[in-house]
Amino acid sequence: MFVGLSLDQAPPFRSPLKFFLTAPIFAMIAGIFALFSQTLDIHSSNMIATIHLITIGYMVMIIFGALQQMLPVVAGAVIPKAKLTANITYTSLVVGLLAFSMAFFMYEKILFFTAATFLFFALLYFVSIALYQLAKVANKSYIVIGMIVSLSFFILAFLIGVHLIIAHATSNISELHYSFALIHYHAVFFGFIFILIVSITFQVVPMFWVADAFKQIEQKGIIISTSLVLILYFINILFSLGLDSLYQVIMSILVLYFVLITVKKLRTRRRKLKDISVYFYMTSMIFLALGIVYWLIFSFIELPIEPLAILLGIGFVVSLMNGMLYKIVPFLTWFHLNSKGLFDIPTMRDMIPLSKMQQQYFIHLNSVILLVLGFYFGIDIIIYTAVILFIISNILFFINIYTAAQVYLKREN
């Protein structure tokens, strides 16, 4: 199951764990922000704060926690002083996110600059270390190449994001603001999140769910093609070439191809036991496909943009990260206790009750469906109901992964 992993180079369990446990807390805060927003317009200040509490507070938190574990274990890229690096990154992220949230809530310039400073430091600090260590890997697989490409797009997206924050703080909105915002959005979603998830999927689907390995041509085709198409799109934006529709069609084909082969491998996996983490992963692929189809239609027909953000953000990314953590946290708990010479420990399947995961899955699924319907038809009561379910889902998610972590925390000494 763990062929090719270099487990002796794994960082201390607490290093990634605090990122994993903090992520659902920021998702809860995002839900509370949405509940108390005076408007549900996606472009309003409160909603911008809400979105970034999910993208940075939830998604980036989990990604950074996962990368701390995966870089040395999967790629052989050892992060020096892993505990110190994790603490600096984590603290800076939390301070930056809190300042960012309050900045949009109170619209105070000093808070915008505080947020930009701490987030700039945290994200650039960790990503630069990760990229440097990945660059030193001798024999780079396409999984490693995908991580390098993804983090490179992340730096681009982040630098543009800092520019956009400063533009808000100084009320200096240039004519290129919309173009920069487009590059920022696409670099974040397709360049950073999608390519990184693709790269991680190539590793974790065969490993955790005993599925067929992804062929090298599949890995190369998706990672390289997505990168090239995205770069050409940025050129298209900056030079106003008018190739947006062509870009959307090609990118959609690439994404749907990834969905197709991933779902096929999960459906034909050799381990057929009931596994809620598989439900989450399959659900995320379905929402990704629906989101991409909606995105294509959106380019030809006027539709509300909020369902697109929900399908791709919460439906695809959040669902997938739920499924991944339901595998990663029990595995890390088992591995670190096992490495201490303790063998009277629960199996990974027994660390989180199946019924509790199943309960959280259905609440999460209903929150996504209701959010899409509520925003599509403009029915506030449905949206607020969905937001409450989203908050409840993340409370349960926190409890579930903490339950698995407690198995280690009670025995670590």
Q: Round the CA-based radius of gyration of the chain to a whole number and report it.
A: 20
Answer yes or no: are the C-beta atoms of 68 and 1 closer than 8 Å. no
Give the Cα separation of 73 and 5 in Å (integer).
Answer: 5
Distances (CA, A) of 41 to 51, 188, 306: 12, 21, 9
pLDDT reported for residue 13: 86
Q: Which of 313, 253, 261, 323 is nearest to 288 (CA)?
A: 313
pLDDT reported for residue 183: 92
pLDDT of residue 298 exceeding 50, the answer is yes
Q: Which of 290, 364, 288 is nearest to 323 (CA)?
A: 364
pLDDT tens string 376-390: 999 999 999 999 999
Give the Cα separation of 68 and 118 in Å (integer).
Answer: 20
Cβ-based neighbours of 87, under 8 Å, separated by 6 or more? none
pLDDT category at 1 given cuts 50, 70, 90 is very low
Give the Cα separation of 263 and 259 in Å (integer).
Answer: 6
Answer yes or no: are the C-beta atoms of 329 and 17 closer than 8 Å. yes
- As to burial, measured by CB atoms within 10 angstroms (0-12 exposed, 13-18 middle, 19+ buried), residue 86 is buried
pLDDT reported for residue 229: 97
Q: What is the pTM of this model?
A: 0.92
pLDDT category at 4 given cuts 50, 70, 90 is very low
pLDDT reported for residue 49: 79
In degrees, rounded to 5, the angle at the alpha carbon of residue 272 between the alpha carbons of residues 142 and 254 is: 35
Give the Cα separation of 253 and 280 in Å (integer).
Answer: 23
pLDDT reported for residue 354: 93
Q: Which of 251, 204, 261 is nearest to 227 (CA)?
A: 251
pLDDT tens string 252-288: 999 999 999 999 999 998 877 778 999 999 999 999 9
Residue type, 349: R
pLDDT reported for residue 369: 98
pLDDT tens string 39-89: 666 666 677 778 888 998 999 999 999 998 888 877 777 888 888 999 999
pLDDT tens string 219-233: 999 999 999 999 999
Structure-token pair, residue 80: 């020096």
In degrees, rounded to 5, the angle at the alpha carbon of residue 76 between the alpha carbons of residues 72 and 77 is: 65
Q: What is the mean pLDDT of the chain?
A: 89
- Least trusted range by pLDDT, from 26-35, 61-70, 337-346: 337-346
pLDDT of residue 131 exceeding 50, the answer is yes
pLDDT category at 108 given cuts 50, 70, 90 is confident
pLDDT category at 153 given cuts 50, 70, 90 is very high
Give the Cα separation of 335 and 82 in Å (integer).
Answer: 18
Q: Which of 26-40, 122-136, 253-267 has the highest mean pLDDT?
A: 253-267
The 10 Å Cβ neighbour count of residue 120 is 17
The length of the chain, given as a count of residues: 413
- Range 234-243 contact pairs with CB under 8 angstroms and sequence separation of 24 or more: 234/183, 234/186, 234/187, 237/179, 237/182, 237/183, 238/179, 238/183
Give the Cα separation of 296 and 404 in Å (integer).
Answer: 40
Structure-token pair, residue 32: 């509370």
Answer yes or no: are the C-beta atoms of 314 and 368 closer than 8 Å. yes
End-to-end CA distance of the chain, in Å? 28
Map the chain to HEC letters. CCCCCCHHHCCCCHHHHHHHHHHHHHHHHHHHHHHCCCCCCCCCHHHHHHHHHHHHHHHHHHHHHHHHHHHHHHHCCCCCCHHHHHHHHHHHHHHHHHHHHHHHHHCCHHHHHHHHHHHHHHHHHHHHHHHHHHHCCCCCCHHHHHHHHHHHHHHHHHHHHHHHHHHHHHCCCCCCHHHHHHHHHHHHHHHHHHHHHHHHHHHHHHHHHCCCCCCHHHHHHHHHHHHHHHHHHHHHHHCCCCCHHHHHHHHHHHHHHHHHHHHHHHHCCCCCCCCHHHHHHHHHHHHHHHHHHHHHHHCCCCCCCHHHHHHHHHHHHHHHHHHHHHHHHHHHHHHHHHHCCCCCCCCHHHCCCHHHHHHHHHHHHHHHHHHHHHHHHCCHHHHHHHHHHHHHHHHHHHHHHHHHHHHHHCCCC
